[in-house]
């Protein structure tokens, strides 16, 4: 009798959907699996912005510790939640084919709102990166924090006097919410293609213990999408080189087409008024993220990182 594979995941609807994709794959390969649901620290603490918690892995650490202790066999994550530095005993064994990496503005009422963005508006987001992009483009708008799972955030948008909120497009797609919005008279949406996505956005990743060779080989050979893995590694190399952590708004997006990588990286000030952006294309996969980050640091990125850090330490954000 085959061992039951225990799959760890957060208990939000989106996280469960993502874990079930991996569970279905294992079922097709003849394995029996069970979902292990839990709340992360980031799920439990809802009254403050994530970036003010000053902790690494607020959405992943508890599940990682359970895997290290042998209570679960693998964890399914949204890649953008996974810290750059992971324990030596763990590997990212499969990157599922990427969904949309882009951000989406969900707004109330008709399209008149989009034609009147010069007027004051209240925009909600829990993302430092999205807030800075929006502040830089619409400095006369007010940004407020927004926490919770996707459905909770949509309900908050509907109930409050906000004009709009910003979401990851892929989450709304995976839960079937985007299709419902197409038929809604209350809420509309628009893709924000001018926002550079967060590194790893739109990617589901499976982490496992390195010592579990059999399952690791299965995941890497049959579930892993090589183009997605390549893009993810470049984006995470860029983030690692900038060492921005959660205190600086950073965007990074790699597209692989005909064996050529097109990578765009950006670093912003917290108010969005300063930004350094660089696009590189090439086939030197191992260094593109590094080169882009070094360019940004050389062109004033170090100063922006220091200024952002100072604002956090002075608790002005």
CATH label of the domain that carries residue 109: 3.40.190.10
Residue 119 lies in a domain: yes
Q: Are residues 73 and 112 in the same domain?
A: no
Number of domains forming the structure of the chain: 3
- Residue among 81, 225, 258, 271 flagged as catalytic: 81
For residue 243, what pLDDT is reported? 80
Give CA–CA dist 208/225, Å, rounded. Answer: 16
For residue 111, what pLDDT is reported? 84
pTM of the model: 0.91
Residue 86 lies in a domain: yes
Residue 107 lies in a domain: yes
Of residues 314 and 295, which shows the higher confidence score? 295
Rg (the chain; Cα; Å): 20
Span 88-100, pLDDT tens digits: 999 999 999 999 9
Confidence band for 41, pLDDT divided at 50, 70 and 90:
low
For residue 245, what pLDDT is reported? 54
Residue 197 lies in a domain: no
**Residues 317/271, Cβ–Cβ less than 8 Å:** no
How many other C-beta atoms lie within 10 A of the C-beta of residue 247? 20
Confidence band for 56, pLDDT divided at 50, 70 and 90:
low
Residue 278 lies in a domain: yes
Is 43 considered catalytic here? no
Q: Is 44 left (phi over 0), alpha (psi -120 to 50) or beta?
A: alpha
Span 15-28, pLDDT tens digits: 999 999 999 999 99
For residue 183, what pLDDT is reported? 84
Confidence band for 104, pLDDT divided at 50, 70 and 90:
very high
**Residues 106/227, Cβ–Cβ less than 8 Å:** no
Range of the domain at 137: 103-192
Residue 231 lies in a domain: no
Q: Are residues 48 and 80 in the same domain?
A: yes
Q: Are residues 90 and 214 in the same domain?
A: yes
Q: Are residues 217 and 267 in the same domain?
A: no
Q: Are residues 183 and 38 in the same domain?
A: no
Give CA–CA dist 245/1, Å, rounded. Answer: 44
Q: Are residues 74 and 208 in the same domain?
A: yes
Three-state DSSP class for residue 211? coil
For residue 1, what pLDDT is reported? 47
Closest CA to 198 of 106, 84, 107: 84
For residue 110, what pLDDT is reported? 79
Q: Are residues 209 and 88 in the same domain?
A: yes
Q: Are residues 176 and 216 in the same domain?
A: no
Q: Is residue 120 predicted with pLDDT exceeding 90?
A: yes
Q: Are residues 11 and 152 in the same domain?
A: no
Give CA–CA dist 297/71, Å, rounded. Answer: 42
Q: What is the CATH number of the domain that holds 243?
A: 3.30.160.40
Give CA–CA dist 172/100, Å, rounded. Answer: 10
The percent of the chain in helix, strand and coil, each rounded to the nearest 5, is 40, 25, 35
Q: Is residue 52 predicted with pLDDT exceeding 60?
A: no
Confidence band for 155, pLDDT divided at 50, 70 and 90:
very high
Give CA–CA dist 97/141, Å, rounded. Answer: 36
């Amino acid at each position: 009798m085959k061992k039951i594979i225990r799959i760890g995941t957060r208990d939000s609807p989106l996280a469960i959907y993502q874990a079930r994709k991996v569970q279905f794959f294992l079922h097709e390969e003849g394995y029996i699996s069970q979902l292990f649901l839990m709340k992360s620290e980031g799920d439990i603490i809802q009254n403050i912005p994530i970036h003010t918690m000053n902790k690494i892995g607020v959405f992943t650490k508890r599940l990682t510790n359970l895997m290290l202790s042998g209570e679960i066999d693998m964890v399914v994550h949204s890649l953008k939640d996974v810290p750059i530095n992971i324990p030596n005993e763990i590997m990212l064994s499969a990157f599922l084919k990427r969904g949309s990496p882009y951000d989406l503005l969900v707004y109330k009422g008709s399209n008149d709102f989009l034609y009147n963005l010069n007027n004051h508006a209240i925009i909600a987001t829990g993302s430092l990166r999205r807030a800075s992009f929006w502040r830089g483009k619409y400095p006369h708008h007010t940004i407020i924090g927004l926490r919770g799972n996707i459905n909770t955030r949509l309900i908050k948008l509907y109930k409050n006097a906000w004009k709009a909120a910003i979401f990851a497009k892929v989450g709304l797609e995976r839960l079937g919410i985007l299709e419902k919005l197409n038929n809604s008279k209350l809420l509309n949406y628009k893709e924000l293609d001018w926002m550079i996505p967060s590194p790893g956005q739109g990617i589901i990743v499976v982490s496992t213990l390195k010592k579990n060779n059999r399952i690791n080989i299965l995941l890497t050979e049959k579930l892993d999408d090589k183009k997605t893995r390549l893009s993810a590694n470049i984006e995470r190399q860029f983030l690692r080189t900038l060492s921005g952590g959660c205190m600086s708004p950073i965007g990074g997006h790699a597209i692989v087409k005909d064996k050529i990588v097109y990578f765009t990286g950006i670093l912003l000030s917290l108010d969005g008024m300063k930004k350094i952006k660089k696009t590189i294309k090439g086939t030197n996969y191992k260094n593109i993220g590094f080169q882009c980050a070094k360019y940004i640091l050389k062109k004033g990125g170090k100063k922006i990182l220091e200024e952002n850090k100072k604002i956090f330490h002075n608790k002005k954000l």
